[in-house]
A and B are shown apart, each in its own frame.
Chain A
């Protein structure tokens, strides 16, 4: 089989092909794109969500949400002005945020590698200077000391899909269409209705990148959100889900794509364990429109 079971590289050194250590990243020119395999996550010594948030804030990042999932872990979602500016382009809004997962089980934090995710989300508009600089900043800030076994070739990231017949980045779930402001208001109204009924909020954060481009961080259903327990909580930072409302269309990354990108070592057998997840995510998200 093309895929192998997911294993975590606790002892890997930080340097990896084409995407150097923090001291080297600032010298990388836009034309000097990485080559070879890019690790999906950087690991750093454990700290709790409050400490992670404080470090991010001190470094000038804006913490958008601290999202805790029972028996899975906590995800800190953050952004800054440069990330928002980079992602303020048609079809690129997903790149406006990044994530740090507080992995209680493995007693470490897992940081989304900006080079990996930005290439996947920005496609041919990938900004190497920004991405490598951001990676270097996070490496330094959290003293990363290992990288994940999860990785993909840089050259494959923009065209990534799990296997034949599976979705690419552009194959998003279409949640709703309508007037831009009405779609944004619809989510807010649904959220407020749930909160009024003393149910958990579904809209965790909202970033207005432009009047016609809004990025939302949203929860999915209680049962749906348990899926990381079936395929490994070590990459549990995959949640919350992102929804983009752009030019009167509400869209989300297809569940199969988002999970495959976040768990690149996922075997087909493991993928089958979460067969209901993609449809359930779409259904859960559509409730807000």
Chain B
């Protein structure tokens, strides 16, 4: 499934639609056997030693698929949202769009039919291309957060490294919005009210708020400067039925499942308000990136993915968001 090929950093500097040649997509360590135990130790304990933090663990999603939809072809599917908090601070200040992959999933999956486990993540250059970060220093800073993680995964999980490729991103890889508001005396009042409405709407439409990372609070706790923003938080969004249709071979499925695309899940939607302003900026990588980066061809899956993009944009508009 994966090409054992690392491409040069220069290739990845090409942005979005301009990319017309192979670029690295997702890096997986492919280990023999079931390495669930080693993976759990990695994400729950060892990852802290290199500055990464696990924020919202969702282990063994496959059990949920089996329970809710009656069948699964997976022995394991886990979404583990991780960030390198201290390493990200300056980068988020430099370009808040990095929140589109902060946190990101250190993904695990294992098929029942195969005695191998896959552990990995989207290649950082691809994350940057999708969110649109072009500044060289910011890109280098973000990419530099990954070698220690990859080394740790190699040490704890082992196996051969495979990196898949893609040829082009969507024309518009991001959905981006602005929301203007009357600024109250305490900005938390607006944020609380917006979050309640946002969560209520998404839950009503059967989305799962799978994660929530409040960077402003994180850096306040660490007593580190993050004063550029009055608020900066990231929601991790998931739609269980949708995800079952992409990642899992349930009882009704006739086409191959794509658990590898779980590297994109859950979707990180960032929201920030710059200091003393009355506009909230919102952004999320479109799910359409899954089609392009993971080379998804099954028409049913393609339709489902594009449908979700459309629905999310519509929901954000209903909350008063204007498309950028």
Interface residues of A (CB under 8 A from B): 1-2, 163-165, 223, 230, 268, 272-273, 275-276, 278-280, 283, 287
Contact = CB atoms under 8 A, between A and B. Distances in A.
- What 9 A-B pairs are tightest by C-beta distance, nearest first? A165-B60, A165-B63, A279-B56, A276-B212, A272-B208, A275-B210, A164-B63, A275-B208, A273-B203
A283 B213 CA distance: 10
Contacts of B57: 278-279
Contacts of A287: 221
17 contacts: A1-B68, A2-B67, A164-B60, A164-B63, A164-B67, A165-B60, A165-B63, A223-B192, A223-B195, A275-B56, A275-B210, A276-B210, A276-B211, A279-B56, A279-B211, A280-B56, A280-B212
A268 B63 CA distance: 12
Contacts of A165: 59-60, 63
Interface residues of B, number: 26
A36 to B, nearest CB: 26
B58 interface: yes
Nearest to A273: B203
Nearest to A274: B209
B64 interface: yes
B211 to A, nearest CB: 6
Contact of A273 (B59, B60, B66, B208): B208
Contacts of B240: 272
A70 B68 CA distance: 34
A268 B67 contact: yes
Given A223-B212, A287-B221, A276 B67 contact: no
B134 interface: no
Nearest to B196: A226
A276 B56 contact: yes
Contact of B55 (A2, A230, A272, A279): A279
Contacts of B209: 273, 275-276
Contacts of B67: 1-2, 163-164, 268
Contacts of A163: 63, 67
B172 to A, nearest CB: 29
Contacts of A223: 192, 195, 212, 214
B154 to A, nearest CB: 26
Interface in B141-187: none
B59 A268 contact: no
B10 to A, nearest CB: 38
Which of A2, A163, A273, A276 has the most C-beta atoms of chain B within 10 angstroms of its own C-beta?
A276
Nearest to B214: A223
Contacts of A273: 203, 208-209
Interface string B58-77: 11100110111000000000
A279 B213 CA distance: 10
A230 B203 CA distance: 10
A190 to B, nearest CB: 10
Interface string B213-253: 01000000100000000000000101010000000000000
Contact of A268 (B64, B203, B214): B64
Nearest to A226: B196
Given A163-B67, A164-B60, A275-B210, 20 more contacts: A1-B67, A1-B68, A2-B67, A163-B63, A164-B67, A165-B59, A223-B212, A268-B67, A273-B203, A273-B208, A275-B58, A275-B211, A275-B238, A276-B56, A276-B209, A276-B236, A279-B56, A280-B212, A283-B55, A287-B221
